[in-house]
Amino acid sequence: MDQSRIPCQIDPARLASLLGTVRDRFTVEALHECRSTSTSLLERSRQGAPSGSLLVADRQTAGRGRCGRSWSSSPEAGLTFSLLWRFAGAGMARLSGLSLAVGVAVVRALRTVGVLGVGLKWPNDILLDDGKLGGILIELESDHGSPSAVIGIGLNLHLPPAGEGEFLHRPAALAQVLAPLPDRHHLLAQLLVDLATVLDRFSLGGFGALRSEWQAHHVWQDRPVRLLDGELVDRVGICLGADADGALLLRTPTGIERCLSGDLSLRVA
């Protein structure tokens, strides 16, 4: 069957009609399938795509998570998209904690559509009752000193089939707690509205301006954890959340340590 004649799950015109006052800040393209929305959008960014460019795909065949992990998606089962956002006049150091700030926007949007019990885990996991509902992948680049970010977000609407993708947590899905599911246009529109608000605030005040809200949704606060570097235990301690720069704070026998490496993973001890 000719895929080009089948409507995509997201209709850009319908989505735009739901964005209200932020409509002009986004340029939306919907695809039936691509290897990775973030990879495709990074290429477009290098070719001068404007801030607010959004790429949403029904299916990703080679979606990427942190540390090279896979994130696959299929029609109906999930919502996956990537957003290009340019931060004029900011240095790369100012973008520390961006994935945490994006998590705040996702929680806001999900609460608005009626999803309760959503939490955040450093640095990029979206949890629902301790199961992984979704993830955030941030990829940064700098063009003549002006940084840009491709923000990839994937959410499970339904539970993925057993064996699909690579999960370090039990998967969770919106369908487990919300019936009927919100129309995906309304869900994506709400995500974009909250992303615009949060990214504007982040541009002005960095993660510090959103830290208290992130801490309020941090589900591993004061829990004993292991910090992994690959498969090796890097250190253990009590998780204290994040500081104003987005660094993980860990109480260890030698004191409170800051951990900022993007290659580190957090596990319950």
If pLDDT is split at 50, 70 and 90, which confidence band does 65 have? low
Higher pLDDT, 5 or 19: 19
| Vertex 205: Cα angle to 144 and 115 (nearest 5) | 110
If pLDDT is split at 50, 70 and 90, which confidence band does 2 have? very low
If pLDDT is split at 50, 70 and 90, which confidence band does 57 have? very high
Residues 202 and 235 in one domain: no
- Chain length of the chain: 269
Q: How far is CA 41 from the centre of its chain?
A: 15
| Catalytic member of 25, 86, 108, 132 | 132
- Provide the pLDDT for residue 63: 60
Residue 135 has pLDDT above 50, yes or no: yes
- CATH code of residue 68: 3.30.930.10
Higher pLDDT, 212 or 260: 212
- Provide the pLDDT for residue 172: 95
Residues with Cβ within 8 Å of 33's Cβ and at least 6 positions away in sequence, in order, are 3, 57, 58, 59, 60, 61
Q: What percent of the chain has pLDDT over 70?
A: 84
Residues 199 and 249 in one domain: no
Residues 43 and 113 in one domain: yes
pTM here is: 0.90
Residues 16 and 83 in one domain: yes
CB 58 within 8 A of CB 8: yes
| Catalytic member of 25, 59, 64, 66 | 66
Is 132 part of the annotated catalytic residue set? Answer: yes
Output the average pLDDT for the chain.
88
**Range 241-268 average pLDDT:** 84
Domain that holds residue 231: 224-268
- Provide the pLDDT for residue 74: 64
168: left (phi over 0), alpha (psi -120 to 50) or beta: alpha
